[in-house]
Each structure stands twice: as structure tokens, then as C-alpha cells.
Amino acid sequence: MAGKRSAARPAGALDALRLSAGQWVACVVTALSIIGSLGGYLWYQGIANNITTAQVDTDAWDRPTSVEGVMNLLVIGSDVRSGENANYGEVEGERPDMMLIASINVDSGSVTMVNLPRDLVVDLPACEQVEGYQGMAAQSGMINSAMTFGGVGCQWNTVEQVTGVHLDHFVMMDFTGFKDMVDAVGGVQMCIPSAIDDPKAHLVLEAGDQTLDGEQSLGYVRSRYGQGDGSDLSRIERQQQFMGAMLRQVLSSEVMTSPLAITNFLNAVTESVTADDEFTVDTMTDIAISMREVDLKKIQFVTVPNGQHPADANRLALSEPAASELFAAINSGADLSGGEEEAEEPQEAPADAPDPADISLDVLNGTAVEGLASQVAERLTSDGYTVVATGNPEVRVPAVTTVYHAPGQEAAAELLAKSLETAVTEEAAGLTGTLELVLGPDWTGFKGDESSADLSVTDDLGGITAEAEPASAC
């Protein structure tokens, strides 16, 4: 590892209080767009030279194919507790937090930011021992644990193998830099729907519209147990709202017309950044040029589709095929904001299509969500289906939501499956005239129904754009 400044990477245990990588990518993309709009190569080069660089040997593993015109960045929040960051705890070492893939289409200027929750359990590839790290054998584990065992190269490899997305570069930032960024732009205005008192995040806020300074903003994006349902997914949603608010603040005319504010902001960004040594000034310039006219409608925040892990109720698993479809779209540079897509014309059902009124089924709950089968049964009954029974699966316990059917009932099973966000169909011995819907850990509700979130194991994909201000109680 080499660079302008030392970038030590000692291994360390994961900690309960972690800084999300989510907020950093908004700052990085915004910084690049500002630079592109202002020009001034020598000034820019001086700012960029603040960045610490690290060497990553990406030739050490088999990689996904890159796509021309698409720049994918792995953005990592560093939980290192040394230096100025020691105020946030005495735990030694560096803990990678939840990560983001920032996918930039350099032709269209669209940006999609995909959160990878830290509780996501995946198949980790083997990583060799390197200086400061013990290495690891291939195993199942939390997606962000790879960096603890094998450094940023191991984390880079893991994300590529899990997602199939070619990562061009990585960017990592720390606590103190984030606070300085917020303070440099005069704080970020947020709506706080209800009062917050979270000692673990060092955060006390009253309810209502207010401008958060750097310290308060850091506590807000770190806070987990003092807000919402206490889940990491709930925290991600708040972080995405903060990212949008910060982008709007940074790109406001007051900030953009202040040379001092811009310089302070960019210094805060670059002085707290570590990037791979291939992420050169010229590369940043190319991104900046493509992003110099940022359209907030085309900056999209999403969370990878996920559900409760079948072996551990406190962990998450990727929901398939939705997760793979998202990663494929990311790797192709697709614009997920929906701004330029025309709505599909509704298609009429074939004349011989089955009627829900003629379909009877059992609903079985294969998740850890108590009462889910009854809730789903109630919804299906309102849609015209006949629900014979509810309960828990005993004979068939699939890993994903499955509609089981007898021979000759394929059409009925497909009709039911297509009304659900994630479901597959399968012929099963022993069934006669009644379908069997088994809700799996990937269950995310009904298609086209905003109320389906109430019947979901986790949030669905539906992200937000940087332009949209979130609905609130303020």
C-alpha cells in the first residue's frame, strides 16, 4: 500500500456503532460535479492531491466484465477510531461499515447508489494473507467482514463476486471528514418527525424542521436504536433522505457561488478520502465533466432487494431474482430513476386465463414474521381467491416464496405468482385441486400495491431520487 499519507489497515472486531458509507457517495459525486463546473485544473489538482492512495492488485482474482461508459465506485465508510475519530470510542482498528456501489453513467449523467446492508450474509471468497491482515478461507459471512480479514482488496473482490458488478475504483472516508463537509456548507436542513434521544449515537434532537451541523448530522446518520424500528434497513432509509438533502444543499446557489464554501467543502472531502492509486486526477476529471450539469432527478438511491436470512432472524439474505436483476441493470448502466421511461400499456389477460374466484389455496408462513400468513390470506381473499387454510409449512419448506401446484394447474399457479413481488412455481406430488403458497424469507409483498410494505419481510427496492423531498410530519 502506498500514498501521500499513511493508510494503515489493521484488522479489528466489528463494532455496534458504525458509520454508514451511504452519506459519503453524495459528497463524492457532488464534489466531482462542482469541480467539473468550475474548471481550473491546477486548483483542482491541488485539491485532489489531498487524497490518500492505496494499491489494490485487482489482477489477483477473476473479475466481471466492465461496460464502456459506466463507472462503478465501491464506497466504504471507515469506522477507524484513531486520531480525531477517537472521540467515538476506544475500539482499536478499522471496521468497514455498510457499503455502497455508486454507478455513474458517464454518457447520460445518471447515478444509481445501491446500499449493501452490513447485516447481509453472503458467500465470501477466499483471500490471501497480506500485511496487517490474516486472510481467510472461503466461507459464509457478513458482506462487510471481508475487509477485516483481508483488507480493501479482499472487500473489493467480495463485492464483485457477490454482485457480478465490475468495480472500477474504491473510495473510503472517515467520521471527522463527514462532519467537516456538513459544516463547510453551513449545515443540512432536515425534518425530524419526532424527538430523538440516542445515547449510542450521541444524538439529542427536538422534533421539527431544523438545520443540522456536522456533529448532529453524524449522529443522525449513525443513529439506529433511537429512531424508527431500530433496524439497519430503517436507518438506511433515513440515510438516503439525508443524502438527498445534502445534495440539494451543496448544489444550492448560495454554496455554488461561494469560493470559500466550495474550497472548504472539497478540502473536507479530499482530506478524509482514501482511494485506489488508479483513481487519478484525469479519471476524476472525466467523471466531473460528465457530471457538471447534475440533474437531481437522475440520482437514485436504492437498497439491494433482501429478506430475512433463513438460518438467522438477525441477518439478511439477497432476494432473488430481484437482486441479480438489479445488479445486472447496474452493470449495464441502466437509468433506474424512471425519468425517461414510458409507462407500459396494461395488457389484457387472455380469454382463457383462470379467474381468481376459481382458485383455492393454502397460505403457509415460512418466515419468522408472526401472523404473516393470515395477513396475506386476508389480502388474497379480497382479491377474489378462496383461502382454505393458513399455517406453517411442514412438508415443503422452500428457500424462496413458492406456489406449489398439482399437474394441470400451471396457469392458476402462474396467475397467483405474477401477483406477488417475488415468487416461483413448482409442481408438487400429493396436491390435488388446492394450490399451496409458501411464503419464503424473500417475501416482499404484492406487485403494484403501495400497502404491500405492511406485508413485507423487508423494504422493497423502490428508492428515492435526490430531487424528491421525503414526506414528513413537519
- 15: in domain: no
Q: How far is CA 205 from the centre of its chain?
A: 26
* Co-location of 150 and 245 in the same domain: yes
One-letter amino acid at 397 equals: V
Q: Do both 407 and 326 map to the same domain?
A: no
**pLDDT tens-digit series, residues 232-272:** 677 777 776 777 777 777 766 576 667 777 777 777 777 77
Q: What is the mean pLDDT of residues 377-401?
A: 90
Is 276 part of any domain?
Answer: yes
One-letter amino acid at 88 equals Y
CA distances from 360 to 133, 420, 427 (A): 57, 16, 16
User: Could you tell me the CATH number of the domain that includes residue 366?
Assistant: 3.30.70.2390
- Better pLDDT: 160 or 244: 160
pLDDT of residue 4: 39
Do 194 and 245 have their domain in common? yes
Q: Rounded to 5 degrees, what angle do the CA atoms 171, 176, 178 make?
A: 60
**Position 189 confidence tier, pLDDT thresholds 50, 70, 90:** confident
Closest listed residue to residue 237, CA positions, set 313, 191, 302: 302
Q: Answer yes or no: do 304 and 406 share one domain.
A: no
What confidence tier does 28 reach under pLDDT thresholds 50, 70, 90? low
CA dihedral for 153, 157, 160, 162, sign (positive or negative): negative
Q: For residue 166, what are the CA distances in angstroms to 120, 156, 163, 210, 299?
A: 20, 10, 9, 40, 20
Instruction: Look at residues 312, 341, 370 and tell me which one is the last residue of a structural domain.
Output: 341
Q: Of 454 and 469, which is predicted with more confidence? A: 469
Residue 365 inside a domain? The answer is yes
How far is Cα 70 from Cα 319, in angstroms, rounded to an integer? 25
- Cell representation of residue 234: 430503517
What is the per-residue pLDDT across 85-138, written as a single tens digit (0 to 9) for each?
Answer: 334 333 333 566 668 898 888 777 778 888 898 889 999 999 998 888 889 999
| Residue listed under C-alpha cell 472521540 | 87
Same domain, 377 and 334: no
299 and 377 share one domain: no
Do 88 and 214 share a domain, yes or no? yes
288, 392: one domain: no
Give domain status of residue 473, yes or no.
no
192 and 107 within one domain: yes
CA distance 383 to 415: 12
- Does the residue 460 lie in any domain? no
Asked whether residue 155 falls in the same domain as residue 275, the answer is yes
Question: 306-330, pLDDT tens digit by residue?
Answer: 888 999 988 999 988 888 988 988 8
> At how many degrees (to 10) do helices 22-38 and 232-250 cross?
20
Whole-number pLDDT of residue 158: 95
Task: State the average pLDDT over residues 180-208.
Answer: 85
Considering Cα of 139, then 144, then 147, then 153, what sign does the dihedral take? Answer: positive
Q: Report d(CA 69, CA 287) in Å as an integer.
A: 10
User: What is the domain count for the chain?
Assistant: 2
Q: Which residue range is the domain that position 428 belongs to?
A: 356-455
* Residue 363 contacts residue 376 (beta carbons within 8 Å): yes
Other beta carbons within 10 angstroms of residue 445's beta carbon come to: 22
- All residues at 6 or more sequence positions from 192 whose CB lies less than 8 Å from its CB, including other chains: 205, 206, 207, 208, 209, 210, 474
Picking from 341, 376, 391, the residue at the C-terminal end of a domain is 341
SS3 assignment, position 368: coil
pLDDT value at 37 more than 60: no
**461 located within any domain:** no
pLDDT bracket for residue 288 (50, 70, 90): low
CATH number for the domain that contains residue 121:
3.40.630.190
Please report how the helices 41-48 and 281-290 are oriented relative to each other, as an axis angle in degrees rounded to 10.
Answer: 120
Q: Give the residue from 170, 149, 172, 174 showing the smallest Cα distance to 160.
A: 170
Claim to verify: residue 361 and residue 327 sit in the same structural domain: no
- Say whether pLDDT at 29 is over 70: no
Q: How many residues does the chain have?
A: 474
- Binning pLDDT at 50, 70 and 90, where does residue 55 land? confident
Q: Is residue 80 part of a domain?
A: yes
Within a domain: 346: no
Please give the helix or strand (H or E) that residue 282 lies within, else none: helix 281-290
**Among 341, 367, 385, residue at a domain's last position:** 341
In this predicted structure, which of 167-176, 329-338, 362-371 has the lowest mean pLDDT?
329-338
Are 224 and 298 part of one and the same domain? yes
Q: Tell me which residue has cell 443540522.
A: 212
